Amino acid sequence: MTWEIVIGLEVHTQLSTSSKIFSGASTAFGAEPNTQADAVSIALPGVLPVLNKGAVERAIKFGLAVGARIAPRSVFARKNYFYPDLPKGYQISQFDLPVVGQGALTIQVEPLSGNAKPYEKVVRITRAHLEEDAGKSLHEDFHGMTGIDLNRAGTPLLEIVSEPDMCSAVEAVAYAKALHSLVRWIGICDGNMQEGSFRCDVNVSVRRPGEPLGTRREIKNLNSFKFMQQAIDYEVQWQIDRLEHGGKIQQATVLFNPDTGETRAMRSKEEAHDYRYFPDPDLLPLDITPAMLEQVRTTLPELPQAKQARYVNELGLSAYDAGILTASREMADFFEGALQILSPSPQSSPASGRGGEREKQPSISEVPGQAKMCANWLIGEVSAQLNRDGLDMVQCPITAQQLGGMLARIADGTISNSGAKEVFRTMWAEGGEADAIIEAKGLKQVSDSGAIEVLVDEIIAVNADKVAEYRAGRDKLFGFFVGLAMKASKGKANPAQLNEVLKKKLAS
């Protein structure tokens, strides 16, 4: 029997401010427990919260990036509930009037089935509101007791709430990945899921086609895309099995156990939980002026989709290549930095990837074929070596300038592709610039047509029988002559020139 899956996400994004949302305490990760829990974080009597402007600017930045309405006036409220890691007994959040209103994010979905084609989907964003993070309960290494670390209490969060627009685990993961990439791209969150900087709550329900929405269960605190996929798949099947056997779904909060691959109920959740929201009396309403909005807008970088379209339209790259190059801000910046060295334009400056109006980038007419060569090396050799070494683009041991300098030597014929690979290996392991490595290792190609003609004449002279066979129609012998010539030149002959001279000499 057919079932429809309905999924919505609530994503908690820790904002990249150096201090907390309502105090000056540090947000640095990894400090000794409770050493960054200041008087405001632990709610000592008489303390007053002061709003962090940087957190507001980051929230606005996100709203602009997803085309959302930014509220000119928003209000902070107290969300009242008891939990051991919430010393105040309430969380300062936003309820009726969030800072970011409705927006949307376009995602690329790659189905797991080999026959299904990739497709694009728009996921609506309901709202994004500012709030403070809670502390953390630690259950391990305490001899059966629970420890409370309040270092995280007060860290600024942007909670991004989607509409229930996703209908599979694949779509939910694609959305979460796109959101993760975007918040890192615009510089509002480091996206470190292991440290809890980007955490997802997933609301899952199932229904018969055409029927009202089913009862949802919320899978809490997923900090891995792999676990998200597994948790949703398990939860969907659990709900379907229960309904098909005559059971009912009770709204609940559930946790995913990656060791068993199962979800389990943590607590039941009533349809209308009474948090007794009311405006926080210690915080004035947040007013965002048009001038502030425009000031934040100037800090937005070129967004991934716009950059991807430019790579296709101006640089002549395929949509596939452009998609990989814009998968992360670091990859795109590296590509543009290398391309700028490879094909400098007097009208453009090296891409910083930051700032408001983007600098002019080389067009396809200025870099014929070179953008493709740069993309091939970055997607191929560089990415493969990063994978072998277990590194990401941030940790790449070579710079965009180093790679661009090496590619320029391929483009001008100084080195062959095989020579470039040796330069690349040396550069990766030992550092240094391409020109110095080429000189030190004697990797320059022989591009002197006169020298190549002398070498070819000698080969033809001592292989008269093979020449006769070639001229009699054995075209495959051409590779034999190329091999002899490359061996004689110790691999330094320019292949294009060598082929041209060989064809001319063998035909005469």
DSSP per-residue codes, 305-316: HHHHHHHHHTT-
DSSP classification of residue 339: H
* pLDDT at res. 269: 59
Query: What residue has token string 């509930």?
Result: 81
Nearest to 499 by CA among 464, 421, 444, 447: 447
In this prediction, residue 448 carries a pLDDT of 57
pLDDT at 398: 97
In angstroms, the CA 415 to CA 429 distance is 19
pLDDT at 364: 43
Tell me, what's the pLDDT at 128? 98
Burial 238-272 (b: 16+ CB within 10 A, else e): bbeeebeeeeebeebebebeeeeeebeeeeebeee
Q: What is the pLDDT of residue 355?
A: 41
Q: Return the DSSP state at 192.
A: -
pLDDT at 473: 77
Closest CA relative to residue 168, chosen from 1, 4, 9 = 4
489 - beta bridge partners? none
3-state secondary structure 96-108: CCCCECCEEEEEE
End-to-end CA distance of the chain: 75
Domain boundaries, the chain: 4-290, 304-441, 449-507
Task: Classify residue 4 as exposed, middle or buried by CB count within 10 Å of its CB (0-12, 13-18, 19+).
Answer: middle
6 Cβ partners below 8 Å, 6+ apart? 164, 166, 167, 204, 205, 206, 207, 213, 214, 216
Residue showing tokens 């009533």: 270
> What is the rounded distance in angstroms from the CA atom of residue 344 to the CA atom of residue 151?
48
Whole-structure pTM value: 0.83
Q: What whole-number distance in Å separates Cα of residue 353 and Cα of residue 334?
A: 10
* Averages of pLDDT over each 10 residues, the chain, 508 residues: 93 98 96 94 92 98 97 96 90 96 94 83 97 89 82 97 97 97 96 95 96 95 96 97 94 94 79 80 96 96 94 92 93 95 60 42 55 96 96 94 95 87 96 94 74 79 80 80 76 73 78
- CA–CA dist 340, 308 (Å, integer): 17
3-state helix, strand, coil in the chain (%, to 5): 40, 20, 45
Token readout for 412 is 């001008």
Contacts of 210 (CB under 8 A, 6+ apart): none
**359, 346 Cβ separation under 8 angstroms:** no
Write out the CATH class of domain 449-507: mainly alpha
**Residue 505 host element (H or E):** helix 495-507
Residue among 301, 283, 316 at smallest CA distance from 131: 283
Structure tokens at 390: 């277990």
Q: Within its chain, how far is the Cα of 449 from the centroid?
A: 47
How would you class 145 by CB atoms within 10 Å of its CB: exposed for 0-12, middle for 13-18, buried for 19 or more? exposed
CA dihedral 257, 138, 28, 30 (to 10 degrees): -90
Gap between the Cα atoms of 41 and 311, Å rounded: 46
